[in-house]
Amino acid sequence: MLKNKLIPFLERYDEITRLLSDPDISSNISKMTELSKEQSSIESIKEKAQEYINVVTSIEENKLLLDDHELGDLAKEELKELEPKKLELEEEIKILLLPKDPNDDKNIFLEIRAGTGGDEAALFVADLFKAYVRYAENMGWKVEIVSSSEGVLNGYKEMIALVKGRGSYSKLKYEGGTHRVQRVPQTESQGRVHTSAVTVAVMAEVDDVEITINPNDLKIDVMRSSGNGGQSVNTTDSAVRITHLPTGLVVVNQDGKSQHKNKDAAMKILKARLYDMQQQELDAKVSQERKSQVGSGDRSGRIRTYNYPQNRISDHRINLTLYRLDAIMEGGLFDEIIDPLITHYQSLAISEAGL
């Protein structure tokens, strides 16, 4: 029974409240901080649990009054409101009881790369990035371009950006994968629809304490930054290439004019990639069959199609198709896809947890 699962949270919350008022603990800053964080983490469950128990109690009391000559009709009316409220609270509480993803509150590195389709893929990198920027603005987040590699006609072979804002990882972690676009390219003279693809990776920004890199495992090269066609964009050796020898991961950054800033940015991206790699390996070891472990799924799989002639956007994981691609891209309205994705994967997690 759900009510029995909630009582320990209420008891623990009250226990922490008592401990925080204990003089011995109030003089211990580290213990106070630890308890305050724990209390804060279960506060939302505590509030919903109290509301749920009150509703359940009211339902039980009203059911006892159903046969009462004077109060029976009033009890029926009360139950009409209380029963749906109970079901609504149960769904909210089940989500709150799911294990929290430790990365959910972190900023992210959003990495978009051109795949099959040449110049058209590079153009879609730019279009998709702009749409994500609009979505970030709608969410109140900030976006900083960390690294980019320009293609033709204002396209990008690669775009890496740091997205800063509460909940950015929890919302965008489902975006990792292959995004396919079907449209008539700017370079197409006969009006034929081409199919291209870009890959998206979403990586949590990590602190130094979360991942340690042995300096001896790094090969760092500096070189002169260059633009399209090999033209020099500045006259100093400011571009930095970092190779992580054990994994073979390579990060190049040349966006800034300062070698130090480029190196710092490259290191942050490398740490995020290594952390992401570790997370994927850990998830695979814990349970290979867990399909709900989003953000660490198979990035080679096609997850979404953007069909411009039909004004259609389809997410293949949840069989969702919307015929308003133009509005979603121009307005950054990805919540129309992301929110159903979140609901889908939460439902899977609830089922797996037996809640």
DSSP string, 88-139: HHHHHHHHHHSPPPTTTTS-EEEEEEE-TTTHHHHHHHHHHHHHHHHHHHHH
Q: Rounded CA gap, 326 and 313, in Å?
A: 9
The pLDDT, as a whole number, for residue 264 is 82
Give 73-78's long-range contacts (Cβ < 8 A, gap of 24+).
none
Domain boundaries, the chain: 2-97, 108-348
Give backbone dihedrals phi and psi of 144, rounded to 5 degrees, phi first.
-120, 125
The pLDDT, as a whole number, for residue 272 is: 86
As given in the structure block, the two tokens for residue 238 are 């400011």
Q: Render pLDDT for 143-161 as a digit per residue (tens, 0 to 9).
A: 998 888 887 778 899 999 9
Condensed to tens digits (0 to 9), the pLDDT of residues 15-50 reads 999 999 888 888 888 888 889 888 888 899 999 999
H or E segment and range at residue 305? strand 302-307
- Cβ-count burial of 129 within 10 angstroms (0-12 exposed, 13-18 middle, 19+ buried)? buried
Does the domain at 108-348 match CATH 3.40.120.10? Answer given as no
Low pLDDT (below 50) residues in the chain: 228-234, 286-299
pLDDT at 226: 61
Q: Residue 106 corresponds to which amino acid?
A: K
Per-residue pLDDT at 354: 74
According to the model, what pLDDT value does residue 292 have?
37
Sign of CA dihedral 75, 77, 78, 81: positive
Q: Sheet of 218-223: strands edge to edge? A: 218-223, 239-244, 249-253
